[in-house]
Copies of this chain bind each other. A is one copy, B any other.
Amino acid sequence: MKIVIIGGVAGGASAAARARRLNEDAEITVFERGPYPSFANCGLPYYVGGKIEARKKLLVAPIELLQKRHRLDVRVLCEVTSIDREAKQVSVHNLATGERYEKPYDKLILATGAASVQPSIPGGDGDRILGLRDLLDADRLHKLATSGAKRAVMLGAGFIGIEVAENLVRRNIDVTIVELADQILPPWDQEMVSPLQQHLSEKGIDLRLKDSIQQFEEDGDGLKVSLKSGDTLKADFAVVSVGVRPESRLAKAAGLECSDRGGVLTNSSMQTSDRDIYAVGDVVEVDDFVTKNQALIPLAGPANRQGRIAADHLSERSSAYRGTQGTSIVGFFDRTIAMTGQSEKGLRRQAIDYEKIYVHPADHAGYYPGANGLTLKLLFNPKTGLVLGAQCVGSTGIDKRIDVIAMAIQAGMTVFDLEEVELCYAPQFGSAKDPVNMAGFVAAGVVRGDHPVIHAKELAKSKMEPNSDLILDVRTPAEFDAGSIPGAMNIPVDELRERLNELPSGRNITVYCKVGMRGYLATRILLQNEFSAHNLSGGFTTWQHVVGNGKN
């Protein structure tokens, strides 16, 4: 069997190695347009910043290894220029020698990945304006970052944008990030990234939201960057990273079915509309695991698994891709944010019914040194409690909680299941009631109707209306005085039972505390005393993340 794989990173490399293990006799050829197969894409920003010192560390599977160990015919600097489905062969252009030839296949795997979106900005093709998609980009950026540069401008505050920003700061370069959206990490929920934006500012990064770059101009040894807002920035170089699109040109030219967004369509065995051609990785449309809707979710883990599945299937083994959950994580400076499943934004966009809650527990037992607070947002079906998504932000223990909830989603668990799950507990690692259990308790209380909640945005809106809720702050007077929701009255939860007579009857009450726990207890007290009450989910902490005012 002749297996040809186009693209030698992540999905392509996984497919090749798996295909070899299952087919010792197959002829497996991997064409890689770039000079390196299987480099550590996700490590590039850290090489630029010097966190990863040795460039060779990024070459995770050197070509010699692939050839010797897996007997793969890896051809780098070889671009496949077209696919002839009729003749079952691809046309190859050797970029090093100029040679052109045809290569026949029995089974073809497209792992062409995604390309950077290139915004059309006057002056944007200058030498000092870079992207960061491959090792050559990293080499260029590394050189600039270590050649005395003092100032850089990043366009785009996605994963790569903020990872690069962190790494340029590591090189003592002043960084300005320009982002068109009104938040960093645009696909994430805004209130979850707001603590991060503050952290970026504390680290000296100049964050320009709702802005864009109108023009780059050469300016002596550097750049003059003109923003839409009217400001002008000076910089030694700029990095543009505003997203990716599927690199599906070959597939389209070959007449393979693609989505309107350009993603190659496959079945669950990763077969395209031509059953002898598979497609894997960032180039394909996947099923979103939660919604079952099609989505473009460029992530390394899914790409690797898809490569494996394609190799299984062409080796006549049943193997099906289950869809992508979108589990992802980004760390910068002292903060980490991670998510799995749907975001609230995504659920709203797809008009899927959901409820949400916020908890702000510590990552491990508060009595053990080094506990850091975290914020966990859980999205779930308001009737069944099915877990739809989660986001978590903080310093430590973030990856663990999202991995646990990723498992819950994978297993189709509900918030009632999260109440019961049994996780590791010793004081340096967690709590007897882990943050995941806590989120389960709160969400299950909401679904059961024991714990009516209101959200900060609703509250901010409803406050303006006539006959609005009484807002009851159940924290201590000292906490109340240090910052509170305008118009709130203060009765500490520990005094509430004795002071119920101070509350007006017949008026809805919104209760809140710092994180929602005392508010929950107060809500239970009020409900059992014939008041109509609900609790502000996540308390004043979430209020501040959402509404942004008040003191910290």
Minimum CB distance partner of A60 in chain B: B367
- CB pair A367–B40 under 8 Å, yes or no, is yes
A409-450 vs B, Cβ < 8 Å mask (1 yes, 0 no): 011110001011111111111101110010000000000001
- CB pair B422–A525 under 8 Å, yes or no, is no
* Chain B residues closer than 8 Å to A60, beta-carbon distance: 366-367
- CB pair A46–B427 under 8 Å, yes or no, is yes
Say which one of A107-115, A178-186, A299-307 lies at the interface with B. A299-307
- CB pair A305–B420 under 8 Å, yes or no, is yes
Flag whether A359 is at the interface (Cβ < 8 A). no
Minimum CB distance partner of A327 in chain B: B422
- CB pair A404–B404 under 8 Å, yes or no, is yes
Say which one of A51-59, A89-97, A137-145, A215-223 lies at the interface with B. A51-59
CB distance from A354 to the nearest CB of B (A): 20
CA distance A417 to B399 in the complex (A): 20
A24-B524, A369-B51, A408-B407 given; A331·B58 CB < 8 A: no
- CB pair B410–A424 under 8 Å, yes or no, is no
Flag whether A210 is at the interface (Cβ < 8 A). no
Minimum CB distance partner of A402 in chain B: B424
- CB pair B369–A52 under 8 Å, yes or no, is yes
Minimum CB distance partner of A39 in chain B: B367
Most chain B C-beta atoms within 10 Å of own C-beta, residue among A71, A330, A428: A428
Of B42, B324, B404, the residue contacting A426 (CB under 8 A) is B42
- CB pair A304–B407 under 8 Å, yes or no, is no
CA distance A391 to B139 in the complex (A): 41
A524-B24, A528-B24 given; A424·B403 CB < 8 A: yes
A327-B422, A424-B328, A425-B300 given; A399·B24 CB < 8 A: no
A365-382 vs B, Cβ < 8 Å mask (1 yes, 0 no): 111110000000000000
Minimum CB distance partner of A410 in chain B: B421
Flag whether A213 is at the interface (Cβ < 8 A). no
CB pairs A–B below 8 angstroms (17 shown): A22-B450, A22-B524, A24-B525, A25-B528, A57-B367, A69-B493, A300-B425, A301-B434, A327-B425, A328-B425, A331-B429, A340-B424, A399-B430, A400-B403, A403-B404, A406-B424, A407-B413
Closest 9 CB pairs of A and B: A411-B411, A407-B407, A24-B528, A329-B424, A300-B432, A68-B494, A57-B367, A400-B400, A399-B429
